[in-house]
Amino acid sequence: MTAAQTETRAGPRTRRLAPRDLDAVVAIDAAITGRSRRAYFERRLRAAMAEPALHVQHAVDCGGELCGYALGRKLLGEFGRQEPALRLEVMGVKPGLQGQGIGSLALAALEADARAAGVRQLRTQASWRDHAMLEFFDHAGFELGGNLVIDCPVHAGALGAEAPVAAREHRHFTSEIDYSDGASNDFEALARDVVDVRSLRREELPDIVRIDRRLTGADRSAYLGEAVAEALEDSAVRVSLTARVDGIVAGYAMARTDFGDFGRSEPVAVLDTIGVDPDYAHRHVGTALLSQLFVNLEALHVERVETVVARHDFALLGFLYKAGFGPAQRLGFVKRL
């Protein structure tokens, strides 16, 4: 009896995902989605190798061949949360083997790692039209989360912003308090002579930590350091920004462009973090950041930007709704471990 036959009789087995699995993962994903997303999986595997403490990636072997996988990433402060969580980014099961418990095995392996690390929440998203995935999440014990998934078509042409920062120089929300009570066209009337928006630079991390501490009352320098590193290194294109007033960093927006997370098959920008120094509230800093982000995304032919906001953060929701955001066709889920 061969080793493969022994493994087949023993049933599917989980193990850590390894770089050698890349081709098999890409092939399974392409069979499911109808397109190759090799670049996305290359980035996820590369990120896991660079920051193994932040990434949890498991494979399921059937008869000596990879038949399923699940990729997760630890959340340390996204969307204003203080409690750590694990984000289920993407999972897949080889067509023809679905419905045999392979996905449940991969998910159980992620949950075991989360519990061992003291993480008690597993979070993810899915399109409300993905009925198979919704059924899987229901069976696995997920519930609707307390945050709203909202998105917006990129409409930079209507904002009157300057040329893209990329052309000139080439996932948590803190409270965005730079919203306006004025007329509806305030969003387009940007004070560009006051707010200087530019691409995020690593040396601006201390300023971001300073602003975040004022907004949250906590020192989250470790989380923000990882967020800045991810914004600069783990995005398909760098689109994160800072805003300066009189030469001082007054706000920031960390975003990434990619496709792949949560079953996405089209390029999308995800706005992970935005914050404005309270000393510069009501001076259009947040508006300028969002406007320039839209301009840059339009230049990159990204058509949609998405984010997650707590249901009770009415100020931030009002600001984003005014900018054109609305309910997305996606749902957020949470499983408490």
Does some domain include residue 131? no
Question: What's the Cα-to-Cα distance from 91 to each of 32, 160, 244, 303, 328, rounded to whole Å?
Answer: 11, 41, 40, 25, 21
| Helical ranges in the chain per DSSP H | 3-10, 22-33, 38-50, 102-116, 131-140, 165-169, 205-216, 221-233, 285-299, 314-322
216 band by pLDDT with thresholds 50, 70 and 90: confident
| Per-residue confidence (pLDDT) for residue 189, from 0 to 100 | 45
Residues in CB range of 147: below 8 A, 6 or more apart: 79, 308, 309, 310, 311, 332
Does some domain include residue 126? no
Do 230 and 308 sit in the same domain of this protein?
Answer: yes
| Per-residue confidence (pLDDT) for residue 56, from 0 to 100 | 93
| Per-residue confidence (pLDDT) for residue 69, from 0 to 100 | 97
Mind giving me the DSSP string for 41-91?
Answer: HHHHHHHHHH-TTTEEEEEEEETTEEEEEEEEEEESSGGG--S-EEEEEEE
Residue with tokens 């948590």: 172
| H or E element at residue 16 | strand 13-16
| Per-residue confidence (pLDDT) for residue 93, from 0 to 100 | 96
Does some domain include residue 163? yes
193 band by pLDDT with thresholds 50, 70 and 90: low
The whole-number average pLDDT for the span 35-64 is 88
Does some domain include residue 143? no
| Per-residue confidence (pLDDT) for residue 165, from 0 to 100 | 52
Query: In total, how many domains does the chain have?
Result: 2
Per the structure, the complete domain to which residue 85 belongs is given by 3-119
Specify the long-range contacts of residues 178-186, CB closer than 8 Å, at least 24 apart: 178/251, 178/276, 178/280, 178/281, 178/282, 178/283, 178/284, 178/285, 178/286, 178/287, 178/319, 179/286, 179/315, 179/316, 179/318, 179/319, 179/322, 180/282, 180/284, 180/287, 180/322, 184/322, 186/284, 186/287
77 band by pLDDT with thresholds 50, 70 and 90: low
DSSP state of 144: E
Do 189 and 82 sit in the same domain of this protein?
Answer: no
76 band by pLDDT with thresholds 50, 70 and 90: low
Closest to 179 (Cα-Cα) out of 298, 61, 280: 280
Indicate the average pLDDT of the chain.
82
Does some domain include residue 200? yes
Do 185 and 267 sit in the same domain of this protein?
Answer: yes
In this model, does residue 20 exceed pLDDT 80? yes
Are 294 and 159 in contact, with CB atoms under 8 Å apart? yes
Radius of gyration (Cα) for the chain, nearest Å? 21
| Per-residue confidence (pLDDT) for residue 161, from 0 to 100 | 45
Do 273 and 211 sit in the same domain of this protein?
Answer: yes
Does some domain include residue 130? no
Interatomic CA distance for residues 138 and 111, integer angstroms: 16
Do 221 and 285 sit in the same domain of this protein?
Answer: yes
The whole-number average pLDDT for the span 308-322 is 88
Do 157 and 63 sit in the same domain of this protein?
Answer: no
> Bigger pLDDT: 161 or 288?
288
Phi, psi of 129, deg, nearest 5? -90, -10
Do 93 and 193 sit in the same domain of this protein?
Answer: no
The per-residue pLDDT for range 173-185, each reduced to its tens digit, is 343 334 333 334 4
Residue 306 amino acid letter: E
The per-residue pLDDT for range 108-136, each reduced to its tens digit, is 999 999 999 889 999 999 999 999 999 99
Do 160 and 285 sit in the same domain of this protein?
Answer: yes
The whole-number average pLDDT for the span 46-70 is 91
> Bigger pLDDT: 156 or 40?
40
| Per-residue confidence (pLDDT) for residue 175, from 0 to 100 | 38
| H or E element at residue 237 | strand 237-238
In this model, does residue 171 exceed pLDDT 60? no
Tell me if residue 1 falls in helix, strand or coil.
coil
Q: What percent of the chain has pLDDT over 70?
A: 79
Least-confidence region, from 13-17, 75-79, 241-245, 323-327: 75-79
CATH number of the domain that residue 17 is part of: 3.40.630.30
In this model, does residue 47 exceed pLDDT 70? yes
| Per-residue confidence (pLDDT) for residue 131, from 0 to 100 | 93
Does some domain include residue 160? yes
Do 99 and 158 sit in the same domain of this protein?
Answer: no
Interatomic CA distance for residues 8 and 22, integer angstroms: 22
The whole-number average pLDDT for the span 63-92 is 82
Residue 14 amino acid letter: T
Q: Angle at CA 29, nearest 5°, toward 26 and 30?
A: 85
Do 165 and 245 sit in the same domain of this protein?
Answer: yes
Are 70 and 16 in contact, with CB atoms under 8 Å apart? no
Does some domain include residue 89? yes
Beta-carbon count within 10 A of 149 CB: 18
Interatomic CA distance for residues 172 and 102, integer angstroms: 31
Interatomic CA distance for residues 319 and 260, integer angstroms: 28
Closest to 272 (Cα-Cα) out of 288, 285, 289: 289
The whole-number average pLDDT for the span 131-160 is 84
62 band by pLDDT with thresholds 50, 70 and 90: very high
Do 115 and 220 sit in the same domain of this protein?
Answer: no
103 band by pLDDT with thresholds 50, 70 and 90: very high
> Bigger pLDDT: 179 or 250?
250
Closest to 264 (Cα-Cα) out of 153, 57, 145, 125: 125
Are 147 and 311 in contact, with CB atoms under 8 Å apart? yes
Do 86 and 207 sit in the same domain of this protein?
Answer: no
| Per-residue confidence (pLDDT) for residue 300, from 0 to 100 | 82
